[in-house]
Amino acid sequence: MTEALGGLEGKAFDFESDYGREYDRFIRQIIPGYDSFFEICLAMFSGVIGEHGKVLVAGCGTGAELDCFARNKPGWKMTGVDLSGQMVDIARKKLEASAREIGFEPEIEWIVGDVARLNHQGEFDAIACNLVLHFIPGLAGKLEFLKALRSLLRPGGILILMDACWEKKQEFHTWMRAWWGFASARGLSARKWSSFREDFERGLHPLPKAEQEKMVGLAGFEEVFPFWSSLHHLAVVARNPFA
């Protein structure tokens, strides 16, 4: 059987490889509350855009956010963007299967490419960007990326941003055992866990939780509110200023 997480042999977090193909199962073994997180995103977006609006999922991966939104908000027009053609293919198939199940064809524009280079300035009421920013190294790169997301929002539009966030202090190492405990109880093998540890050492660039929150403010967002946290992950919601 192929091991999805290649460890040091391959590129860390290669979404075009088996890692992408096995992502749906893996991510649920790694992030406690992964699925219910999207229900919170849905509720937050609903409070701002109601039944009709335009939503961008930046780094849509295999389509977890899009699927949750499509099943609940038939009036939302959605755009799913991802660098990986494989992830978009998986997401598209997932949404096609959901459409058959719910008997309704959600309106989704699919784009394979870099979300920071989209030419949809000011078009969106809401953006979900989950588990993406932590792949960008350096504060300057992260800031530039967040500003690019802000430019895609209408005035008053909102961003939800969720990432791995940590500082390698004593608590980080202590609670790493708990993380492994959770993942192994969900069926992750020791080999895959150790490959994941290698991958995140070389391929993830997380900020400490307080820095993540601050960075969103530096990019020009207002009302920055950290609303969800799960082990080493943090989500914030923030608003693009009205004027």
Ligand X SMILES: C[S@@+](CC[C@H](N)C(=O)[O-])C[C@H]1O[C@@H](n2cnc3c(N)ncnc32)[C@H](O)[C@@H]1O
Nearest to 209 by CA among 235, 190, 176, 189: 235
For residue 80, the surrounding DSSP H or E stretch is strand 76-82
C-beta of residue 135 within 8 angstroms of C-beta of residue 203: yes
Sort 130 into a burial class: Cβ within 10 Å, 0-12 / 13-18 / 19+: buried
Nearest residue to ligand X on Cβ basis: 61
In angstroms, the CA 35 to CA 38 distance is 6
Told to check if 206 binds ligand X by CB under 6 A, we report no
C-beta of residue 88 within 8 angstroms of C-beta of residue 62: no
Told to check if 234 binds ligand X by CB under 6 A, we report no
Question: In this complex, which beta carbon is closest to ligand X, that of residue 106 or of residue 243?
Answer: 106
Six-digit token string for 109: 């524009």
Count, residues near ligand X per rule CB under 6 A = 19
Question: In this complex, which beta carbon is closest to ligand X, that of residue 148 or of residue 176?
Answer: 148
Candidates 41, 78, 87, 153: give the one binding ligand X (CB under 6 A).
87
Candidates 5, 30, 55, 132: give the one binding ligand X (CB under 6 A).
132
Question: In this complex, which beta carbon is closest to ligand X, that of residue 135 or of residue 179?
Answer: 135
Told to check if 82 binds ligand X by CB under 6 A, we report yes
**Shortest distance, position 37 Cβ to ligand X, whole Å:** 8
Candidates 27, 99, 143, 231: give the one binding ligand X (CB under 6 A).
27
